[in-house]
């Protein structure tokens, strides 16, 4: 959520932070299962 006084910066912030939004931290014990599920996802970029 962006504060009203910062709305002018919302687009720039989203572009800068996009790669962080696409990252997912997964504990090693769940990594393989997560990789399988995300690779099969139709939204994969």
Judge whether 9 lies within some domain. yes
What's the total number of domains in the chain?
1
Residue 11 included in any domain = yes
- Burial state string for 8-41 with b = 16 or more CB within 10 A and e = fewer than 16: eeeeeeeeeeeeeeeeeeeeeeeeeeeeeeeeee
The DSSP secondary-structure symbol of 42 reads: T
Residue bearing the bigger pLDDT, 43 or 2: 2
Residues spanned by the domain of 9: 4-39
pLDDT confidence band for 43 (50 / 70 / 90) = low
Q: Is residue 45 part of a domain?
A: no
> Does residue 8 sit within a domain?
yes
Which tokens hold the place of 23?
A: 């990252």
Q: Find how far residue 23's CA is from the centre of its chain.
A: 5
Residue 44 lies in a domain: no
Q: What is the pLDDT of residue 19?
A: 81
């Amino acid at each position: 959520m962006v504060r009203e006084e910062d709305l002018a910066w919302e687009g720039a912030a989203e572009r800068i932070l996009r790669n962080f939004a696409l990252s997912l931290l997964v504990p090693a014990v769940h990594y393989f299962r997560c990789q399988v599920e995300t690779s099969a996802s139709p939204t994969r970029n």
